[in-house]
Amino acid sequence: MKQFPDNIMGVRLSSNINSDLLDAISVTKADKVFFLFDENTFQYCQPLLNIRSEFPDSFSLILKSGEENKNLDQLRRVWDYFEEKGAGRNSLLVNVGGGMLTDLGGFAACTFKRGMSFINVPTTLLAMVDASVGGKTGINYGGLKNEIGIIRQANDVLIYVPFLESLDQDNFNSGFAEMLKAGLIHDADLWTRLIEYDLDIRDISLLLPLIWRSVQIKHVIVAIDPEEKADRRALNFGHTFAHAFESLSLKLHEHLHHGYAVAYGMVFESALSVIRLGLSPEESDQIKEVVGSIYGTIPFAGNEIEQLINFMRSDKKNDNNRINITMLERIGKYKVNNYVEENMIKKVMEEILKP
Ligand SMILES: NC(=O)c1ccc[n+]([C@@H]2O[C@H](COP(=O)([O-])OP(=O)(O)OC[C@H]3O[C@@H](n4cnc5c(N)ncnc54)[C@H](O)[C@@H]3O)[C@@H](O)[C@H]2O)c1
Ligand SMILES: [Zn+2]
């Protein structure tokens, strides 16, 4: 049995964001402090931070929000701002935002003057349980997601759940999908607690231990395999299909939240797990039912299967035209590196997407 540490290095739950941030910043002994927001986090989250009184000499930059802006132009804006304000290797960047912002800001900090410190203050559920933890940073480039990036841990990650109050339901559900995934791959009890959680009421105090458990699971898996040689692929459960759904949606100019794509992906990858690893059909059905009740009908049709398989074919992890999929032996137990023939994928897709 893998043991979980009591404390997770670098990731903390904050009950007072201003004093915790003050502590985290003073530990770095930074000569200059920069805050990075996007339009929405500046509007909704910045007012919860007493930047003017606590950090009167700091600098703030506001980027455009949205995944389409996780790009080189915005990265250049951050680098230019650093230049303009005289940032150096001993300066610090505080990223206040969702995964778009923590990925881009983390990358900007890692690359400026060969690397300055950065602290992540995630403001979406997805960033709290996933994007801001684990050290992956980067931007989209040439039409490809996360094409340019680097793995480096943030100096600190401060999770302050009151930021979630202003988050819309779709983004909330999107982050919740990554929590469901954490339960499915590594903790059946977390899965049970999550499916009992009332997403209409969104009681944040009940969510807090579930967020923390999800972070622990990510942390432990990343610690076993930081460079994604094997076990870290557990976190990709649902994602082989999800990336195909996201690529197709991008091509059709239809927005699909990442977590929704992951949730639909978990339905297909569970069905494959029944065939390949003997996951019980009852557990697979339960996953399908839970996903349907939160994320609705899967918005793809039988005539899109070929295109979706084409997208899966380009995945870096494949081998000899077989597609590499993380699967479940049972709820709470993952197995990585399952190579699947395309015709099996096609059969499962036809079954699930039949009219
Ligand atoms: N580095 C990793 O390990 C990792 C893991 C998973 C996802 N990601 C990346 O994360 C990104 C998706 O993250 P996301 O879903 O957080 O997207 P996001 O950062 O685009 O945030 C979603 C939307 O919510 C808004 N927002 C953020 N916080 C808010 C708040 N408290 N109140 C109101 N609105 C708020 C944002 O402005 C944005 O419009 C993708 O780019 C993905 O590639 C990275
Ligand atoms: Zn994901």
Pair (136, 177) in one structural domain: no
For ligand 1, which residues put their CB under 6 angstroms from it?
A: 38, 40-41, 44-45, 65-67, 70, 97-101, 103, 123-124, 126-127, 130-131, 134, 136, 145-146, 163, 166-167, 171, 174, 258
Q: Report the residue among 45, 107, 123 best suited for mutation to probe ligand 1: largest number of ligand atoms under 8 A from its CB.
A: 123
Q: How many C-beta atoms lie closer than 10 Å to residue 88's C-beta? A: 12
Residue 238 has pLDDT above 70, yes or no: yes
- How many domains is the chain built from? 2
Q: What is the CATH number of the domain that holds 122?
A: 3.40.50.1970
Pair (129, 199) in one structural domain: no
Pair (161, 270) in one structural domain: no
Q: Is residue 20 part of a domain?
A: yes
Residue 294 has pLDDT above 50, yes or no: yes
Question: Could you give the CA distance from residue 39 to residue 27 in angstroms, rounded to a whole number?
Answer: 28
Whole-number pLDDT of residue 317: 66
pTM of the model: 0.94
Q: How far is the CA of 192 from the centre of ligand 1 (A)?
A: 26
Q: How far is the CA of 334 from the centre of ligand 1 (A)?
A: 26
Lowest mean pLDDT among 108-117, 154-163, 227-236: 227-236
Query: What does 80-138 look like in DSSP terms, one character per residue?
Result: HHHHHTT--TT-EEEEEESHHHHHHHHHHHHHGGG--EEEEEE-SHHIIIIITSSSEEE
Ligand closest to CA 257: 1
78 is in which domain, residue-wise? 11-165
The residue whose CA is least distant from atom 25 of ligand 1 is 40
Pair (333, 200) in one structural domain: yes
The residue whose CA is least distant from atom 12 of ligand 1 is 99
149-199, pLDDT tens digit by residue? Answer: 999 999 999 999 999 999 999 999 999 999 999 999 999 999 999 999 999
Pair (103, 23) in one structural domain: yes
Q: Is residue 2 part of a domain?
A: no
Six-digit token string for 190 = 């977390």
What is the chain's mean pLDDT, rounded? 93
Q: Which residue has the tokens 């039912």?
A: 289
CA-based Rg of the chain, rounded to a whole angstrom?
20
Lowest mean pLDDT among 162-166, 253-257, 325-329: 253-257
- Domain C-terminal end among 165, 182, 209: 165
Whole-number pLDDT of residue 5: 42
Pair (258, 285) in one structural domain: yes
> Are 234 and 199 contacting, i.e. CB atoms less than 8 angstroms apart?
no
- Domain C-terminal end among 148, 165, 182: 165
List, in sequence order, the alpha helices (H) in the chain.
17-28, 39-44, 51-54, 72-84, 99-111, 125-126, 169-186, 188-196, 204-224, 239-251, 258-277, 281-295, 305-313, 342-352
Q: Is residue 1 part of a domain?
A: no
Q: What is the band of 123 on the pLDDT scale with cuts at 50, 70, 90?
A: very high
338: CB partners within 8 A, 6+ apart: 272, 276, 277, 324, 325, 326, 327
